[in-house]
Structure 1
Amino acid sequence: MAANTKTSRKVARYAVPVAVAGVAAATVAMVPAFANAGGPDLPKVTAQQLIEKIAASDVQQLSGTARLSTDLGLPKIASGLLGGGGMAGGSANPEDKVAQLATGTHTFRVAADGPDRQKLTFLDGKDEYSLVHNGDDVWGYDSKSNEVFHEKAPAEAGGGAGHERKTGDRLAASPQQFAEEVLKAAGATTDVSVGDTAQVAGRDAYQLVLKPKQSGSTVASVQIAVDAGNGVPLRVQVLSTEGGKPIVDAGFTKVDFAKPSADTFAFTPPKGAKVTDGSDAAGHGTKDDGFKALESLPGLGDLIGGANGKGDMKVLGEGWATIARIDSGTGKGLQGAENDKNAPKEAKQFLDSLGDKVSGTFGEGRVLSTRLVNALITDDGKVYVGAVTKDALVKAADANK
């Protein structure tokens, strides 16, 4: 996410979160497809051929339904504090809606016609939220509150290739974007192969499988189902080393590659709707509101940003095993919050629900855990965070205290 407030609120922010993109590095193993295991009988391809098929796909028109399920293993109290309260809020700001995708299962109607026209409609519950990009305009409409958000598409895109990247693929919020972000981070720390064939949304598909070469990652594999006919990614699943259901499962349930009708992307604010211009709403979204309970923990803001926002950060390792080490400069961790009698009960419950106390040659600290990203906060004010296991964080802290 861009640091500049104005830029960060542009259309590029409205994508379904691609949390695994930063850790999904890939190297192509020339491995033919495995046995079909009950899937469709398709000609064998290598991983290199399948990646080339994705890259060569020129599909820009589609419509259908997609589903995103995210299971980070957050307890209910953590989900509430982090703004995962569902799609029933009364704001038309796209940032607020995207923030709510961090937990649970969400269904969308998707339509796209090239880089200048896309529509995404959230179908959670009886109320709908629509996000429409049509030419120079981006609209968000929340039917529950009858509120409209309006913003101009980024002028710096100029309608060229950058314009397509910022508004076309991202606004569609479809599995293609997940797949592109994963493959973009290609490197030498991943084995890439072709797995079993599958059927997704009624389409025959190959599955591209990315697995970490390194130990210690929370990700067992990333599996990308690719349309056997046109090379469009139809589903992306992020599987956990702990087993169980996927951490992230984003895929089409129905898809049609015919050109959507032009009126699909037409939008006029309903009569009586409250319309908010994006430039006027900068800095006033509800995204930060969900963190108020966390901010009430003494010193937590300093731990995240460093003392006075000047913490020292160092990147340890590479690929799937990457860990960010942040020295807050405060010299203290969360023990102050744990012992503070004035801290809200909910804030302390949040710590207890996420964290295990650990120790090592680095000293003592607490690990805040999810199924994907873990963070070790030491009692001397250092933070180690990455998509790695608790043991990997402790090992890193011992080696880099």
Structure 2
Amino acid sequence: MHRTDLKDLPDLLALRQHLHRHPELSGAEKATAARITSELQKYAPDAVLTEVGGTGVVAVFKGDDPQIGPTILFRAELDALPIQEEHEALPYASATKGVAHLCGHDGHMTILMALASMLSHKRPVRGSVLLLFQPAEETGAGAFAMLQDERLLRLQPDYVFGLHNLPGFPLHQVVVRNEVFASASTGMVVELFGKPSHAAEPENGLNPGMAMAEMILAFNKIIEEKKTFEALTLLTVIHARLGEVAFGTNPGYGTVMATLRSYRQSDLQKLKELTAKAVEAIANKYGLKYKISFEEEFPATLSDAGAVQVVRQVAKKLELQVQEAVQPFRWSEDFGHFTAKYKGAFFGLGSGASQPQLHHANYNFPDELIPTGAALFYGIIQEVLNQ
């Protein structure tokens, strides 16, 4: 199908602008989910599941013969970012201070809605198609939560596919990679517990400041030993806090936070173990109690070679340029929870060589990608059915 075969493109563009103007943060996407649910009704899906894994929405489109053939799932994200947009002149700029769609999730949702439009005009000859609108991608919580919902598990997809727009790549270019597409990552929080005292009597307290400084140096030393890891592995200290701003106190509490990241899940696990050992040794040295926790855990996003080949074939038929990614992307994406459970692929769609990068304050999703993304997804359905 040609990339411009969307009869209701003006309505879809209006939807994208509405979503952009009314962003919601991870886990709080109630109005977004309600709008998506309402829009889906235009296309007469066979079923719409709501409040899946929180605010998630899943539309079911059955083929002409749903009893035979595969079930294919496509995903988009509902959530926006806690960043102030710098697009005051944009007619549909975010109406919510400090919150904006600066990752393109508004565009991804609209691509999935465009696919719903295409399916309403021509269902697949067999099998079923699931359109999944996922909450909380930015925090890494949404995919996992949806996969705990029995209603979704009963649908048992045979294939899962997702895409992400990629600034820095030519518009409409399809970016693929077998195996690891995006990195695994997690946020590490180390809490250190000493004993507070008056600043005039520091000897009567136990200040974790020296331990914090030593810990940060130890983390940096671990990550500098490149031979310890099989592939690219990173640790970034993102926050450190010692007590409160009060000159009369000798603080007894401190926190160090870091982002751990790797191309390989095994390397990330090794990094977690090494940093935990360093924390234990340093805390014991200074007589401190400690607590380690991990937040916003993203598994590596893996793509099945056969599913990636499907994407390549569809891109070729649509006369789109295909770029093979030499290395995995350093950012993380919780679609890895889906590809860990089901056969599938995650791929990129170039959003322009000069496009501002994701999460930048002046980013804005290019609407030209909506027909392209929808055509790719629709073509994937046909390609899978023809296998």
**When the two structures are superposed, what TM-score results if normalisation uses the length of structure 2?**
0.23
Which gives a bigger RCO, structure 1 or 2 (Cα 8 Å, sep 6+)? 2
Q: Looking at secondary structure, tell me which structure has more helix per residue.
A: 2
User: TM-score of the superposition, structure 1-length normalised?
Assistant: 0.23
Higher strand proportion (structure 1 or 2): 1
Flag the structure with larger Rg. 2
